[in-house]
Amino acid sequence: MSIPYYHAIGKELMVFEHAYNCKIPFLLKGPTGTGKSRFIEHMAYKLDTKLITISCHEETSSTDLIGRFIIKGAETVWLDGPLTTAVKEGHILYLDEIAEARPDVIVAIHSLTDHRRELFIDKLGKTIKAHENFMLAASFNPGYQRGFKELKPSTRQRFVAISFAYPKAKIEADILVSETGITLDIAKKLVNIAAKIRNLTELGLTETVSTRLLVDAAKLIHIGLPKRLAVHVAVVEPLTDDLEVIQALKDLSDLMI
Ligand code: ADP
């Protein structure tokens, strides 16, 4: 496998490398589709370390991360969860959307995020010391709008944090070209549409156009879907269900591509 493509936006590569050297937990903040997961994949590859990603959701519990007893034939055997594996073997564990997980997940990682660097496995009554290469990373969507969960200051302050935002127009166009093979001319048009919609704060969208949506539109255009239709289905429709807003965004984007 070759290195996952990631176009730096700021100083995040340097910051992560230094945080990794000190094994300080790392928080990637930012809206969905701004390259957080891609960044961590890129860094893990670059640092030649294994990455274990957990996509957290409201049912994600500490048991899912730490491990559980399972019945095997007539026996009950212990099965390490991904966090325990990463702690023992020295990998990067990436908790994607950490604020979505159940509160016991936050409790479970506390002792790993301070000088102790240890994991308490309550079901085994055992504490294990983290491998020297173990590092915890997490992503969090600050979501200034409704519907997003918060992360407590006492948790946030255990991490070094970097904000991810939509890249500058030139970089975003380069990303679209590299990711999809689309022409720079079309990439620029897609980026302009995104910039326009991102500025329409009065629409009250929960989340606005992400780079991910533009990549999807660019991919569809590249393999032959008509441009306007691609923007409708990949950019406009995923944003909202409000028919009037959809129509307004379609009209606006039709003029720009
Ligand atoms: P997040 O984890 O923030 O939700 P992802 O890392 O999954 O977002 O990014 C979504 C897609 O956007 C990626 O698959 C990639 O195609 C593209 N992307 C966004 N930002 C970048 C970047 N800086 N460099 C390369 N690709 C990017």
Q: What angle do CA 88, 93, 109 make, to 5 degrees?
A: 80
Mean pLDDT of the chain: 95
| Sheet containing strand 160-163, strands side by side | 51-55, 92-96, 135-140, 26-29, 160-163
Which residues form the pocket of ligand 1, taking CB atoms under 6 Å from any ligand atom?
Answer: 5-7, 9, 32-38, 167, 175, 179, 211-212, 215
Residue 58 predicted with pLDDT over 60: yes
Per-residue model confidence (pLDDT) at position 247? 96
Amino acid at 114: D
Q: What is the pLDDT of residue 75?
A: 94
Quick check: 146 pLDDT over 60?
no
Cα of 34 vs centre of ligand 1, distance in Å, is 5
Q: How far is CA 42 from the centre of its chain?
A: 12
* Ligand 1 centre distance from Cα of residue 33 (Å): 5
Residue 171 has what pLDDT?
97
Q: Measured over all CA atoms, what is the biggest interatomic distance in the chain, rounded to whole angstroms?
A: 68
Residue 160 pairs in a beta bridge with 26
Contacts with 52 (C-beta within 8 Å, 6 or more apart), sequence order: 82, 85, 86, 91, 92, 93, 94
Give me ligand 1 centre to Cα 75, in Å: 44
For 81-137, the pLDDT digits (tens) are 999 999 999 999 999 999 999 999 999 999 999 999 999 999 999 999 999 999 999
Mean pLDDT of 130-146: 87
Cα(155)–Cα(151) distance, integer angstroms:
7
pLDDT for position 205:
86
Residue owning the nearest CA to atom 5 of ligand 1: 35
Q: Is it the case that residue 39 has pLDDT exceeding 80? A: yes
What are phi and psi for residue 67, nearest 5 degrees? 135, 170
Give the predicted TM-score (pTM) of the model: 0.93
Ligand 1 atom closest to the CA of 9, numbered from 1: 23
Residue 147 has pLDDT above 80, yes or no: no
Q: Residue whose CA is closest, atom 27 of ligand 1?
A: 35
Structure tokens at 19: 């945080």
* Short-list 46, 8, 68, 36, CA closest to 137: 36
What would the pLDDT profile of 21-34 be if each residue is shown by its tens digit? 999 999 999 999 99
pLDDT number for residue 158:
93
Q: 46-55, 142-151, 193-202: which range is least confident on average?
A: 142-151
Check whether 143 has a pLDDT greater than 80: no
CA angle, 192 then 195 then 198, to 5°: 150
Spatial separation of the C-alpha atoms in residues 58 and 97, rounded to whole Å: 10
pLDDT of 144 > 90? The answer is no
